[in-house]
Amino acid sequence: MVPSAGCKPVGLPVIRAGVRFDSDFSPPDFAVMEGWCVMNKRLLLGVAGGVTGLSAVALVKLGNPVNYGLCIACFLRDISGGLGFHRAETVQYMRPEIFGLVTGAFLASLFTGERRVVGGSSPFARFFLAFVAMIGMLVFLGCPVRAALRLAAGDLNAGVGILGLIAGVLIGVQFLNRGFSLGKAGSQHDLNGYIFPAVSVVILVLLLSGATFFFASKSGPGSMHAPVAASAAAGLIAGILAQRSRFCMIGGIRDFILFRDTHLLTGFLTLLIFAFLGNVAAGMFKPGFAGQSIAHTDGIWNFLGMMLAGTASVLLGGCPLRQLVAASEGNTDCAVTVAGFIAGAAFMHNFGLAASPKGVPLAGQVATVAGLVLVFIVGLMGTYRSSSVKGGVSYGGNG
């Protein structure tokens, strides 16, 4: 949706709550919009959340695991296994939803002229933060999107995880308020911005054509999936809507804490509501802590795992979904971040650190605590102010 003459963003940068936002991270996240445009953007976020929530329920009915209709972290973990980066045989599958999402976001940014090829903003630090964030998400067993979907299906363990996520975002905001930045992003050659979406499109075509040379689980969550075409279509629609609406669950919580701005929370709330209604209608609503699908009841580690994920995601500039979308738009730093998620997933499963329905292994608990310490160190070391060029995921200088 292109702003009309009656929908004019006020120029950036802006300073709110003592934090300078130089880039158009998730425009119009920080742009002050006029008149009906504010309502239209909120409506678009609501549509994005609602469609994503209902799509997740539909994917479960079509074959995805229960409470696992759409999870960026879990799907990237499955893809890591599908590529052979880890050998946990129950979680290996090239999830078409992810490749469809990237394709949809890429096409949306291309046709709306919003592609901006930027990068060079502390790529190694971003890889590291994503790697550590994945530790937290695989201890909780889900990303922010799956946390909301689990709660919408009645999994009260997810409520504990969401409280941890809020605590993590609150910690991350404290670093932002003190000037945290990963440095300045710069314009790059267009070629750099096309590699990530091009690879995704090629893999999607291979999956749609029935390619069988990837690793694939014969049992467990990786063996449970909707038809490839349906999964790809759901991802494509989610990618388009996420790109147009700037849907980001971490951003919604962050903006409310910083500015009491509920704009991005609209997507989270509509996802929760429509997924709940879909689960009730489909007979899949099962309230309680025990016996939930691909979940454990260890509240301390559900909380701490998502606290780690929330803190790292704030420092990165957005949740895994937003990182995928921004990478599709041409942000090479976000493509590096996605690689960090995939590497972190491989690490967790190759060394037996990931949680399971039985709970969190001791090694996973140690990794979570170590991750929290390391993210705090990164936060403290990155507390300086910088500016950034337009484009991609950023607050301050977070490229």
Q: Which of 341, 185, 161, 189 is nearest to 253 (CA)?
A: 161
So what's the pLDDT on residue 389? 44
**Model's pTM, two decimal places?**
0.89
So what's the pLDDT on residue 9? 37
Question: Which segments in the chain show pLDDT lower than 50?
Answer: 1-36, 386-399
So what's the pLDDT on residue 41? 84
Q: Where are the domains of the chain?
A: 39-381
Chain centroid offset of residue 365 CA: 23
State pLDDT tens for residues 344-365. Answer: 999 999 999 999 999 999 999 9
So what's the pLDDT on residue 374? 98
Geometric angle at alpha carbon 204, from 109 and 131, rounded to 5°? 75
Q: Which residues contact 77 (CB under 8 A, 6 or more apart)?
A: 86, 91, 134, 138, 345, 348, 349, 354
So what's the pLDDT on residue 27? 39
So what's the pLDDT on residue 20? 41
So what's the pLDDT on residue 184? 87
